[in-house]
Amino acid sequence: MARVPGRSCGACCTNLIDVGVVLGGTTILEHINLHLHCGEMILLVGPNGAGKTTLLRTLLGEFPHSGELQFVSFDATRRVPRVGYVPQRLDIDALAPVSVLDLFAAAVSQWPIWLGRTRRARETALSKLGLVGSEDLVDRKLGRLSGGQLQRVLLALALTPAPDILVLDEPVAAVDRTGTRLFYEAISRLREEHDLCVLITAHELSVVASLADRMLVLSDRTILRDGPPREVLADAAVGAVLGFRVDLGSLPVEYRKHRPHGDPAAEATR
């Protein structure tokens, strides 16, 4: 989805209005009020048990919730956002004869894999892998990919079809430091070029904070802070909740301009 010149928010936006999640009689999230802008990269942090994964899975439609999830798009036929998802890892049998192309073919075609791959499946795989610089992996067996290569393949798959929101739940747990930085830089580039809203949970706080537009801090089942990473990390209350402080000197002073919060319907029609 190409960026629309002159718009503060591209072709869609998503509002969570007083969203709550109760599972097994236990309140996991409550009073979640959040606006997700097109083109923004958002880092979601909080202590263990704060509800980060629950919030992501609620966006994926896996959990029932109270409150309202409001989606506005120029495509009036769509009532909910299209969400792409990159998991922490995908357990693959190293000896399994499944290729990257097989994975894409299963996702984009109803044609049985054992009857051969369609031309459309290969074209789609090459196109999406090209977005993450990994076209050369199309015929590689999944079990022979490095951690970083596999995560780039999963990222390309999450972009099939093009999502409104890209959700990543600690996506580089099995990737080395260099691969981690390259992976997140690729994410940042994609949100710019395709106007994606990217929502990430990550342990690599300083790396992602240096690329993110916003940081959300979950605590006591709700959002404690929401703002530019430098401002959020400077808050003593946030440091107390996270249990550590980030060296702000390691973060860039200037971030991309932040889109103003506002009514999604007004933003989508500007």
Domain range summary for the chain, segments of one domain joined by +? 12-92+145-268, 96-144
**For the chain, percent of residues with pLDDT exceeding 70:** 81
Given a cut of 60, whether residue 270 has pLDDT beyond it is no
- What is the band of 66 on the pLDDT scale with cuts at 50, 70, 90? very high
Strands (E), the chain: 12-23, 26-37, 41-45, 66-73, 83-86, 165-169, 197-201, 214-219, 222-227
The closest of 189, 118, 116, 121 to 152, measured between CA atoms, is 189
Strands (E), 98-230: 165-169, 197-201, 214-219, 222-227
Which of 75-84, 138-147, 184-193, 229-238 comes out lowest in average pLDDT?
Answer: 75-84
Angle at 85 between CA 5 and CA 25, to 5 degrees: 120
- CB distance 225 to 34 below 8 Å: no
- CB distance 229 to 255 below 8 Å: yes
The closest of 144, 138, 98 to 121, measured between CA atoms, is 138
- CB distance 23 to 29 below 8 Å: no
pTM (2 decimals)? 0.81
Copy the structure tokens of residue 47. 């202590």
**In terms of residues, how long is the chain?**
270
Which of 28-32, 52-56, 80-84, 109-113 comes out lowest in average pLDDT?
Answer: 109-113
The closest of 210, 202, 215, 203 to 247, measured between CA atoms, is 210
Given a cut of 80, whether residue 63 has pLDDT beyond it is yes
pLDDT in tens, 204-245: 787 888 889 999 999 999 999 999 998 998 898 998 888 876
The closest of 126, 105, 129, 135 to 117, measured between CA atoms, is 105
Specify the amino acid at residue 26. Answer: T
Q: Which helix (H) or strand (E) holds 147?
A: helix 147-158
What SS3 state is found at 141? strand
Instruction: Please give the mean pLDDT across all residues of the chain.
Output: 82
- CATH homologous superfamily of 12-92+145-268 equals P-loop containing nucleotide triphosphate hydrolases (3.40.50.300)
Specify the amino acid at residue 65. Answer: H
pLDDT of res. 246: 64
- Give me the mean pLDDT over the 165-171 stretch: 92
Residue with tokens 């629309």: 4
- What is the band of 254 on the pLDDT scale with cuts at 50, 70, 90? very low
